[in-house]
Amino acid sequence: MISNLSGASVLALVIATTAAAQAHAQTTQTAPTETPTGGPAPQSDAPAPSTGTSAAALPSPQAAAPTQGSASSVSEVVVTGSRIPRTGITSTSPVDSTSREQIKLENALTILDFSTELPQLAGGVREAAQGSDSFGAQVFDLRNLGQSRTLVLIDGTRAVPFSFRNSVDVNSIPASLIKQVDVLTGGAAAVYGADAVAGVVNFILNTSFNGMEVSATDRTAEAGGSEYGASLLLGGDINDRGHIVLAFDYTQRDQALAGSRSWAATPNQTVAPAGGNFTDVASGREFSFTPAGQFTTTPQTSNYTSQYPLIEPLTRYNADTFFNYKLLDNVELYGRGMFSDVKTEESGTPGPGPVTINQIVGINQSNAFVTPQIANQLTFVNGVAQVLVNKSLPQLGLIDFHTDRQTYQVQAGLRGPVPGTSSIKWDVYTQYGRSTETSPITGDGLVTNASGQNNFAALANSVNIFGPNSAGLSALGSTLQGNERTRDQAVISGNVSGDLRDLFSLPAGPIGFALGYEYRRETATIGQDSALLDGNTYLEGSLAAYNGAVTTNELYGETLVPIVKNLPLIKNLDIEYAYRNSKYSLFGTHNTSKYGFTWSIDDNLRIRGTVQTVIRAPNFSEFAAPESSLPYNDLVTVARLAPRYAGDPCVLGTGNAAQCARFGAPAVGSVNSFSPSYLQGNYFFGGNADIKPEQGRTKTFGFVLTPQIVKRFSATVDYYELDLRDAIGVIQPIAALNSCYVLDPVASNPLCSLVPRNPTTGALDNTFVNNQNLGRLDQQGIDVSINYSVPTPRWLPGELFRFAYQANFVTRYTIQNNPAVAAINCKGTFGATCSSDATTLVQPDYRHNATVSWVFDRGQVQLDWQRIGGVVDSTPGENDKIPAQDYFNLNSSWRVLSWLTANFGINNLRGKDPPFVPTSGTFNTFPDTYD
């Protein structure tokens, strides 16, 4: 069972004005608000909402004692989704938030520990994502639209990407310093630039922290994968002219193997035996060796899946500092320095399995290890027998990438009011970040030596290759230097923002505006061992190196116009417009825009909406990655790749007979299309120099309900739509085969060319999954957030009960892989057919997170209910289903002393196993979605 029993104690030694118990809830409630961002501009410590809501807020404990930068000293804030400071923190775009209080309550050591509960976030990459190129990173995927379409910000400015997909490892952000996390959905390209297609996740950090806080957390799992760590926060004023915050975080996560979870066992995932299967080529006689080393003529297999890493080990160090200092009365210097070192182990691209030998070698009759039993099976010609050896090599260990990733970012800026004005401010800053990654690979080896001699053949007569205990074969192992990756990002930005009240005001108020310029330079370098470049390894295939850069120059503007106020049925009516001109060094010039409005009918109801155009330029992985390859038959021999191939429809009998005949496919049932020998050639993947930016339109429309007749109640309902054309992605063989032979069986179907056939045998011969512009992604849905608090009855202890419900309903989700083929319905499905990046493989049409909190003067107890809706197999002709999954967590926090708070919780309260899906891959489930 995977119940995660977690007990944590948080010790906060506090001085100055910082509250002692960070998780201690207050009993009062403010008016409903949108959540402010951080960012280079002066920010507010405005009240942060409770779990995931943009509709209502509870004050943080620090609200009682304002610190520098608090709401009492700053009259304007900047909301996520806009660069215009405003006095009322409302937004035209829907924003959902998670507060520091909630993060503390869940004993979160890393972003992963709490982010997986947010309904808008799909699985992305989690610690069990074996075989990905994330190497221990946690990335975000909004709306199942892929990690490349989610922009991650830190206080309103870009975080440093680590991958060629522009993804950010959010675990490099210190959880201890987070004040709140804003999730904006519906696109934000006009405001923030490229990559904000599905939306934005903005981490707002507690840069005004005063005092000292020490915390220690232990999250103990029953069957491995425990996590523990500590953090230290320090904050104080600098000569009454500035402020500085220092944060240090340490996290350690233990490894858990698949054998520690009964549901992860995959007895059908067998490979060549450790003892070996041997075939005399001349006579066809076969013999093998059992796991005990006994000679037999019965073919053997081995199963190593219990040794596969289910949860990756992790060691993480973070050191961060944030500061601001008034150089002059009207000029402030500010900045940050962030550093993260993450060490982890993962199985990498080929998956976790061992090296397998499958080749013919010459066995000498004089070989000292050839017993009479063996000799009787062999045919010696001139003293040499040709023998086909099929044997796995556990002596080398399983494939393991020992990744060390270091990420840092430095930022420095100046800001202040425009001389002669009271409501216009200027802000210029520059930031530079780099992520470097080294991944020595163990468990693999070189096929040939420097002189071209086959290494296994060279050992065949000098060491014992017969049986499972062939210690001499460990000499075949070689540490490879793989994926030496570096990503740099440099940003220079300047803007002027505020309102025109010093010049004039409309009857409903002054016009707000923001004008700015941003320059970005992104560079990417990846180096590979020469053996990886040449494909001279047993398991890695052929990988490529790259070195390149792309620059972007952007001009943007935004305006907020108050139209009317204080009229019947119109308390306020504002309209908003944003425009951005983006010039890419490689992709030309493109424009994006945003139209929005917010209409407060009265104190009970506010309506809002946006229409935006979005653009995303190709990232390095999509336009620049050279072509690499794996053996095509890895799709049936490597468990994690299994979802990408579901057999040949023509052989299985599910394909259109005329189309199968047209392309010369084998007859129904004539061969086994799941046999490794059926998939000839290679599985090619990589970038596409001819790729072009993807463009689309997003719409949102919703309302915020705060009925004055029902105290402490609020609700938001927002409809969203994303229509993306020329979407960039890959088409896996399962989707190409189904499109060609099942869904659109016509000769002109362009997807048929991605899965060509051998002209002689009709078997599948190579497959091509290079990045390309697909046809269209179209998703529509509704987000709902409800919050309600009621005082506890007099006969019960405590102050109030708090109810929160946050849900995402997907009403439509289709993917059109090419304009010439029909769209695929992906709503409520699972499988690679509906995944454009082969990362998140589950697309539920409903998710929610609901909490009930019992709040006391000194703490609270919270029950959390996470539900993931049921899904069906997206493969045509398949009807497998995964029922809805429910997870319950119980968390509590209690202020024991004025300086001591203790938290205790149980995650996965019922000890629920993830759903068993034997066709999913390595672990019989989808670790990207299910705990």
- In CATH, what number is assigned to the domain containing residue 96? 2.170.130.10
Mean pLDDT for the chain? 85
**pLDDT tops 80 at residue 134:** no
Summarize the confidence of residues 57-73 as an average pLDDT.
33
The three-class DSSP label of residue 363 is strand
Summarize the confidence of residues 547-564 as an average pLDDT.
94
Nearest to 54 by CA among 804, 890, 577: 804
Dihedrals φ, ψ of 482, to 5°? -110, 150
Summarize the confidence of residues 705-722 as an average pLDDT.
94
- Rounded to whole angstroms, the Cα distance separating 603 from 599 reads 11
Sheet strands (E) in 393-473: 400-417, 424-442
The three-class DSSP label of residue 380 is coil
Give the count of alpha carbons within 13 A of 112, CB side only.
Answer: 26
Question: Who's near 507: CB < 8 A, 6+ residues apart?
Answer: 564, 565
Q: Which two tokens stand for residue 41?
A: 């501009």
- Out of 11-25, 56-70, 224-238, give the one with best mean pLDDT: 224-238
Summarize the confidence of residues 732-743 as an average pLDDT.
92
**pLDDT tops 70 at residue 64:** no
- Among 71-85, 665-679, 781-795, 804-818, the minimum mean pLDDT is found in 71-85
- Among 31-40, 497-506, 671-680, 860-869, the minimum mean pLDDT is found in 31-40
Question: Who's near 99: CB < 8 A, 6+ residues apart?
Answer: 48, 49, 50, 51, 58, 60, 179, 180
**pLDDT tops 90 at residue 592:** yes
| Residue 174 belongs to a domain | yes
Neighbours of 918 (CB within 10 A): 12
| Residue 120 belongs to a domain | yes
CA 689 from centre of chain: 25
| Residue 69 belongs to a domain | yes
Query: At which residue do the structure tokens 């960070």 appear?
Result: 22
- Rounded to whole angstroms, the Cα distance separating 157 from 707 reads 35
More confident residue, 57 or 236: 236
**pLDDT tops 90 at residue 602:** yes
Q: What is the pLDDT of residues 820-838, one digit of tens each?
A: 888 889 999 998 888 766 6
**DSSP type of residue 740:** I
Q: Give the chain's domain count.
A: 1
**DSSP type of residue 67:** -
- In the chain, % helix, strand, coil (3-state, to 5) comes to 10, 45, 45
Give the count of alpha carbons within 13 A of 544, CB side only.
Answer: 16
- Of all residues in the chain, the percent with pLDDT exceeding 90 is 56
Query: At which residue do the structure tokens 């090419």 appear?
Result: 818
pLDDT confidence band for 565 (50 / 70 / 90) = very high
| Residue 223 belongs to a domain | yes
User: What is the model's pLDDT at position 87?
Assistant: 57
- Of all residues in the chain, the percent with pLDDT exceeding 70 is 89
Which helix or strand (DSSP H or E) is residue 489 part of? Answer: strand 480-499
| Residue 130 belongs to a domain | yes
CA 812 from centre of chain: 22
Q: Which two tokens stand for residue 116?
A: 């997986």
Alpha-carbon torsion (150, 156, 162, 168), positive or negative:
negative
pLDDT confidence band for 129 (50 / 70 / 90) = low
HEC-encoded secondary structure of 604-665: CEEEEEEEEEEEECCCHHHHCCCCEEEECCHHHHCHHHHHHCCCCHHHHCCCCHHHHHHCCC
The three-class DSSP label of residue 834 is helix
| Residue 861 belongs to a domain | no
CB distance 80 to 184 below 8 Å: yes
User: What is the model's pLDDT at position 146?
Assistant: 82
**pLDDT tops 80 at residue 425:** yes
- Among 72-86, 225-239, 413-427, the minimum mean pLDDT is found in 72-86
Interior CA angle at 643 toward 640 and 647, to 5°? Answer: 120
| Residue 36 belongs to a domain | yes
The three-class DSSP label of residue 476 is helix
pLDDT confidence band for 5 (50 / 70 / 90) = very low
CB distance 627 to 770 below 8 Å: yes
Summarize the confidence of residues 602-609 as an average pLDDT.
94
| Residue 923 belongs to a domain | no
Domain of residue 189, residue span:
4-248
Q: Which two tokens stand for residue 346?
A: 């993962």
Q: Following DSSP, what letter does each residue of 853-873 receive, concatenated?
A: EEE-SSEEEEEEEEEE--EEE
Summarize the confidence of residues 483-494 as an average pLDDT.
94
pLDDT confidence band for 95 (50 / 70 / 90) = confident
CB distance 198 to 151 below 8 Å: no
